[in-house]
Amino acid sequence: MTGDLPRSRPRTEQPHEFGFDTRQLHAGQRPDPNTGARAVPIFQTASYVFEDPESAAAYFNLQEYGNTYSRIMNPTVAAFEERVANLEGGSGAVAFASGIAAQAAALFTLLEPGDHVVSSSALYGGTVNQFKHLFRKMNVELSWADLDDPAAWEAAVRPTTKAFFGETIGNPAGNVLDIEALAGIAHRHGLPLIVDNTFATPYLCRPIEWGADIVVHSATKFLGGHGTSIGGVVVEAGTFDWSNGRFPVIADPSPAYHGLKFHETFGEYGYLMKLRAETLRDLGAALSPFNAFLFLQGIETLSLRMDRHVANAMTVAAFLDGHEAAANVTYPGLPGSKYQPLVEKYLPRGAGAVFSFDCVGGRAGGQGLIGGVQLWSHLANVGDAKSLIIHPASTTHRQLGDDELRAAGVGPGTVRLSVGLETVEDLIWDLEQALAREGGTA
């Protein structure tokens, strides 16, 4: 039963190092041994027949790795997990029903009541809500740190701190995380650095190569790339020492798995095994095989799409930067961005495709722009093949006054773009005509 499960193999077995484009098509899958199917089959099944009572017992004891129930593992989902782990350079991965579930699970696997996390303050809005409200209910404390000031992260560390958390490219100001510096500080204190790599994808940046220990994704965005499915994934580097004294929750016998010592038993897979066998089992936010299949379709063309996303984003950002109705274009790929040195280091292929700018016409200008566009889709998502636009002050941040908006890093005229794969002249034509009609009038 284990034979058809894609597994990570030691590097020494693979004398030839395959390129990214090859791995985004092949990693984690061989043609189906039973049918010869070249595409990854959708194993639309809730459970699996055991060969005999002994192997069933071995699976449940985690003595052998075999399929039991699709809340915990599924061969289609496994192909997706192995592919993302391979592209990120991790030892393995566990998929979840959403990005928000993936990051909650990544952290809950490490945390106990009373613990503490240091997080970047420039985060996706849904993550801020989760950290502020859900984590408080779990009696987990948060310190927000300025991602431009690594010393502030170090100063925030407490005896109960269990992790650093940040996004490769932050929201909404396109802040770029200094991954190597923060990983260095985290490791000095025996802590893992967790990076949300959603906006960059492993094609533009691989945080593990710079010292990150855990990478989380909302696969809903660029990994899938088509805006069809919600999903997430957690990747671990497999190098962190969970037996360093700070993590009895992983090193000591687990009451949730009849006394199993996850790190001692599974070594570099200890964290991932606990993430799957306990956290995923108990939270239940499993990715469906069908959505895993759709994410695999997206990943096959990830590098091609990201190159186009970046090229289009650069062209649109440069256009807005020179437009009289637009101010404060935050694309970190622009030559004038204060994040240029970090972009050159961590994002040499480009700084992604999500950024914001301010309409000179303020709230009315932003709203007018949204009303005037014809090709850009007005919606609350990013990372679709189609170009997306939103005016936070009249949608996601609608209940806030102007002062509160500014505190959240959003101006009354701020507009967020997720630049898609259309003909770039068409994207600019649409912004141009909408800005001429509305944005520049105030």
Q: State yes or no: residue 232 binds ligand PLP (CB under 6 A).
A: yes
Select the residue interacting with ligand PLP from 167, 236, 278, 438 (CB under 6 A).
Answer: 167
Q: Which is nearer to ligand PLP, 104 or 434 (CB)?
A: 104
Q: Which position's Cβ is nearest ligand PLP?
A: 99
The terminus-to-terminus CA distance of the chain in angstroms comes to 67
DSSP states along 251-284: HSPBGGGTTB-HHHHHGGGHHHHHIIIIIIHHH-
Residue 180 CA neighbour count, 13 Å, CB half:
8
Cα 300 off chain centre by: 18
Q: State yes or no: residue 382 binds ligand PLP (CB under 6 A).
A: yes
Nearest distance from C-beta of residue 217 to ligand PLP, angstroms: 8
Q: Check whether the bond before 172 is cis (ω within 30° of 0).
A: yes
Q: State yes or no: residue 384 binds ligand PLP (CB under 6 A).
A: no
Q: State yes or no: residue 372 binds ligand PLP (CB under 6 A).
A: no
| Residue 381, token pair as written in the block | 């998502």
Nearest distance from C-beta of residue 408 to ligand PLP, angstroms: 16
266-305 mask for ligand PLP (x: CB under 6 A)? ----------------------------------------
Q: Which is nearer to ligand PLP, 100 or 405 (CB)?
A: 100
* Residues facing 218 on adjacent strands: 232
Select the residue interacting with ligand PLP from 99, 352, 392, 439 (CB under 6 A).
Answer: 99
How many CB atoms are closer than 10 A to CB 46? 9
Q: 117-156: which residues touch ligand PLP (CB under 6 A)?
A: 124, 126-127
Select the residue interacting with ligand PLP from 29, 70, 98, 288 (CB under 6 A).
Answer: 98
Q: Are 316 and 333 in contact (CB under 8 A)?
A: no
Between vectors from CA 38 to CA 34 and to CA 44, what angle results, nearest 5°? Answer: 65
Q: Which is nearer to ligand PLP, 67 or 414 (CB)?
A: 414
Q: Which is nearer to ligand PLP, 78 or 382 (CB)?
A: 382
> How many angstroms separate the CA atoms of 406 and 274, rounded?
41
> How many angstroms separate the CA atoms of 411 and 121, rounded?
17
Which residues bind to ligand PLP, rule: CB under 6 A? 98-100, 124, 126-127, 167, 196, 198-199, 218, 220-221, 230, 232, 382
